[in-house]
Chain A
Amino acid sequence: MAVFRMPSLGSDMTSAKLSEWLVQPGDRVTRGDVVAVVETQKGAIEIEVFETGTVTELTATPGAELPVGAPLAVIAAEGEETGEKTGGETGAEAPDAPPVADRPVVDVQTLPQPQTGGIAASPAARVRAHDLGVDLARLRGSGPGGAIVLADVEGATSAPSPAPEQPSRSGLDFDEMRRAIAGAMSRANREIPHFYLSQTIDLTPASEFLTAHNADKPPAERLLIGALFLRAAVGAARAVPQLNGWYEEGFRAAETVNIGVAVALRGGGLVAPALIGAEAMDLAQTMAGMRDLVTRARAGRLRNSEMTQGTLTVSALGEIGAEAMAGVIFPPQVALLGIGAPQTRPWVVDGTVIPRQVVTVTLAADHRVADGRLAAKFLSEFETLVYCPERL
């Protein structure tokens, strides 16, 4: 018993319409007989059988569009029983499939890379490094084969990446770092139209909050006021997203708040790694993150993302020092919050002058993306949060 199937007549034939049967069940057919007509995109073609025997059943009806291999009829060979029907076989026999290479025959990775004495760096990286005064030899590339790409250079604008041949902290090249800082700061002052707004804030509620909070905590769990400032800055950034992001051919607001923390290094120099995803952290987490950042910055073990993904930076002078600081924005960020050292000043509370500890915060903002109203809103939000630390 043989199944007569829709023949393939050309590589570009996938199906055909059965137009007409030229045989009926019970008819004797001989190999080579034309038994049906099918309509193809090239016109009507008569199709022949390659079996000799008796047609027992026509399984396809004229008018049907049928794929190559579809059963059309059943033919019983001579001497075979003609009454029985075939089973449920419907598909064409699978052609013997040729093998498929399990890897590309032309292996693109085998293309040789020239062994240059110099550095593999993309054209975009070279242009930017030149503009920023960054020495490519000091960078670790993240591109194909370790090539330096644009992002690697930009990551180096706020601080040098740890050089590959200098894995330990002792290997940090301070001269190089100074050059990178110089490059980034020069670019900032050259490209960013800075403007500044200042606000002096009474720290009494914050101090009381900290004293109460730290009273029964071991030193490791105590909060510093710097953590409060960071949380407040994160909150202000959430309230004024126009100041949280990057300016590269136009401003792009960041989805998260990766708050940059300026860290002075022993021996000089400054890095501003970011606390990635700070908006999702509570005060304790912020404090822990800040500690971790400072420790790793001083050990020279910062991650590349921390150096490149900051969205807004906070620079605090700490417990002692100048009253106010108007800082330089880290490009491509658009704002920097400078926090002066807390001072004890005469302060008017409820109509009475009394000594109070206050701090002056100065927001440096990029006038290409923000104006005084936005900056004032930012400072106002910051002050509100510092005033109500329980909300932090």
Chain B
Amino acid sequence: MTASDKPRLDRAHVTGLLAQMLRIRMFEDKCAELYTREKIRGFLHLYDGEEAIAAGIIPLLGDADRIVATYREHGHALVRGVPMPGIMAEMYGKAEGCSGGRGGSMHLFDAARNFFGGNAIVGGGLPLAGGLALADRMRGEDHVTACFFGEGAVAEGEFHETMNLARLWRLPVLFVCENNGYAMGTALDRSESQTDIRAKAAAYGIEAQTVDGMDVIAVEVAAKQALARIRETGEPAFLECRTYRFRAHSMFDAQLYRNKQEVEEWRARGPILRFRDWLLDNGLLHADEIAGIEARIEAEIAAAVAFAEAGTWEPVEDLTNHVLGAAPPAPARVEPSGEMIETTYREAVRAALREAMQADDRVFLMGEDVGAYGGCYAVSMGLMEEFGPDRIRDTPLSESGYTGLGIGAAAVGMRPIVELMTVNFSLLALDQILNTAATLRHMSGGQFGVPLVIRMATGAGKQLAAQHSHSLEGWYAHIPGLKVLAPATLEDARGMLATALDDPDPVLIFENVMLYNMSGELDKTAGAVDIAKAAIRRPGSDISLITYGGSLLKTLEAAEALAGDGISAEVIDLRSLRPLDDETIMASLAKTRRAVVVDEGWRSGSLSAEISARIMEQAFWSLDAPVGRVCSAEVPIPYPHHLEQAAIPQVDAIVATAKAAMGR
């Protein structure tokens, strides 16, 4: 044991530890009371019994270090210094809450104190923590991220993905597993084949140890050692704290899964009880002093409750605040030089990546096979040689893990570009994209944003069958908090990335696989383009053909065929699938009165259905025909070429649907 590892047992320090634990316990007790009186609603998860962990570890962190916690995080927030009135007001849902009232008990956030929530998807906080540490690692900053999670999380893939990534990339994270023996109501040995949690982390080569989580001094000593090692080596460390929650999982829990005797046994060695008795027995503290501490805490809690009671309800008119940040103005249009270069869609994306990497040190690309392999679709070929493996970062096949890392890195100022090989694989990262990237700004009351770009291939046509060929961009377009783009031209392939990187929110870019080989001419000065407006790719007066991405070329071909039959079709390239540019669509409809939507997604519940509904809502009285749709057949994409082609929108179907709308 080195000098720095020795327990500090001076009076002021031990008094502080006891006071922090009492503060948590009494706060939680008040929350339980307020819950029974319906002041606090939703789920309420209390930290009674586990106080020694937050109290033992968090004071060891510096102001610039970061904390990621779970839905049982009141104690962590309190010890970190998030003001109690703001926490209590958040419990009430008041505007003065530490998350503006948007989060509640499970989503306490405080940007000023580097407190990253309040994450209520079990395991979901780990990749986020990894990403915060990745930013530190890449910037060479000497911070540590402390990530708290329950033992239930170790069954999640995100736990294992993050362990692997943290060790692989040497991320400065202190992982703290608060093992209270039950994942909600399921005992550890009912859910885990290997109940030694330390061993799971150790299996990834992470320095891991187990400590008595009911002993605040033992926790503090172990954490101090682990933090010293992280600061020294930059490598992650893992602490399993064996603990117990004295109260139910959440308020409405009859605790059928454990018996009273077990609770009583753990209570008898509760962290506050033991520590207080020890302090009294050793004459370090007097009972009167403890009573004084309790009186001060009671007063603090009373003031916090009064603050929450007096707090205000956010006006309902503000409902849609904190969904998106303020987007910068559209990039200025650069005058074309007139000098054209021959290029392909693939090369245009690569040129955009290269330019972004050159323009901004914060930008990096990560994904499966983006580096040594050169990208599954050869988009990033040569970039690793140019920018190095740190910025063109090959990932393990851990979509959720590295997408979450990208989210974390973006939240602290990096500008990651995450490449997911295909949209089908992106479903493995959907938890991170929806539950973290799209919601972080909102549930933190606007304190955190995620300026992340995620690129992925989409669409059928390469005979890649039913797990590599779908068009699920419409699903993502369903999600508030995201922006969804579909570049269909060389200009957009070249220009959307830069604008997306400037955006304060997560932007998903869908590149149709059939476009990568598309060649054509591009002005030499082509650069950033706006990402909010749809484009008229062919003007017309009889019917509006609305499409995006891989279907644009087919739609233009159909428009040409229709022209041969005397039908003047206007072709709209949506470009942005979320938000949709209603204005351009409706302006076209006002002229043509007829529309056909061409969407490679499946028809049921598709983006085409959304567009059709909006046309009905906004242009019904001007229509001359029902809105037609050309979508993919309701079948997983089949392998044989002829069946695959039959499954997706084709020129003849677009022509026929347009003619039907014209009454021809």
Contact = CB atoms under 8 A, between A and B. Distances in A.
Interface string B237-259: 00000000000101111111000
A147 to B, nearest CB: 4
B41 A11 contact: yes
B539 interface: no
Contacts of B621: 113, 120-122, 143-145, 147
A42 B316 contact: no
Interface stretch (B32-40, B171-179, B322-330): B32-40
Given A99-B313, A111-B617, A120-B621, A93 B37 contact: yes
Contact of A105 (B317, B587, B624): B317
Q: Which of B38, B250, B319, B582 has the most CB of A within 10 A?
A: B38
A12 B252 contact: yes
Q: Which of A44, A69, A113 has the most CB of B within 10 A?
A: A113
A9 B251 contact: yes
A8 B624 contact: no
A26 interface: no
A156 B582 CA distance: 35
Interface in B577-613: 582-583, 586-587, 589-591, 593
Interface string A55-70: 0000000000000110
A122 B624 CA distance: 9
A116 B42 contact: no
Contacts of A7: 35-37
A5 B621 CA distance: 58
Contact of B42 (A11, A96, A101, A120): A11
Contacts of B210: none
A309 to B, nearest CB: 25
B544 to A, nearest CB: 11
Interface in A2-17: 5, 7-13
Contacts of B583: 112
A5 B583 CA distance: 56
B38 A8 contact: yes
B262 to A, nearest CB: 15
B622 A114 contact: yes
Interface string B1-44: 00000000000000000000000000001001101111101100
Interface string B218-250: 000000000000000000000000000000101
B649 interface: no
Given A8-B36, A9-B36, A118 B317 contact: no
A148 to B, nearest CB: 8
B43 to A, nearest CB: 8
Interface in A59-94: 68-69, 92-93
Contacts of A44: 254
Given A44-B254, A116-B622, A92 B590 contact: no
B192 interface: no
B546 to A, nearest CB: 14
B315 interface: yes
A120 B622 contact: yes
Nearest to A6: B36
A250 interface: no
B467 interface: no
A96 B253 contact: no
A102 to B, nearest CB: 9
B317 A114 contact: no
A218 interface: no
Interface string B612-648: 0000011111111010000000000000000000000
B309 interface: yes
Contacts of A40: 252, 254
Contacts of A13: 252
B624 A114 contact: no
A170 interface: no
Q: Which of B29, B319, B583, B622 has the most CB of A within 10 A?
A: B622
Contacts of A115: 590
B124 interface: no
A10 to B, nearest CB: 3
B93 interface: yes
Contacts of B582: 112
A126 B37 CA distance: 60
A15 to B, nearest CB: 13
B38 A92 contact: yes
Nearest to A143: B621
A68 B39 CA distance: 13
A320 interface: no
A121 B619 CA distance: 11
Q: Which of B32, B37, B317, B621 has the most CB of A within 10 A?
A: B621
Nearest to A48: B32
Nearest to A148: B621
A43 interface: yes
A126 B624 contact: yes
A120 B590 CA distance: 10
Given A68-B38, A120-B621, A32 B29 contact: yes
B41 A42 contact: no
Given A113-B618, A114-B618, A10 B251 contact: yes
B618 A112 contact: yes
A215 interface: no
Contact of B316 (A10, A32, A101, A112): A101
Given A95-B39, A98-B313, A99-B313, A112 B586 contact: yes
Contacts of A48: 32
B38 A95 contact: yes
Nearest to B29: A32
A40 B347 CA distance: 64
Contact of A45 (B254, B315, B320): B254
A236 B309 CA distance: 76
A99 B36 contact: no
Nearest to A7: B36
Contact of A96 (B35, B309, B589): B309
B618 A111 contact: yes
Contacts of B35: 7-9
A305 to B, nearest CB: 23
Interface of A: 5, 7-13, 31-32, 40, 42-45, 47-48, 50, 68-69, 92-93, 95-96, 98-101, 105, 111-118, 120-123, 126, 143-145, 147
In order of increasing CB-CB distance, the 6 nearest A-B pairs are A10-B252, A7-B36, A43-B254, A120-B621, A114-B590, A101-B316
Interface of B: 29, 32-33, 35-39, 41-42, 92-93, 248, 250-256, 309, 313, 315-317, 319-320, 582-583, 586-587, 589-591, 593, 617-624, 626
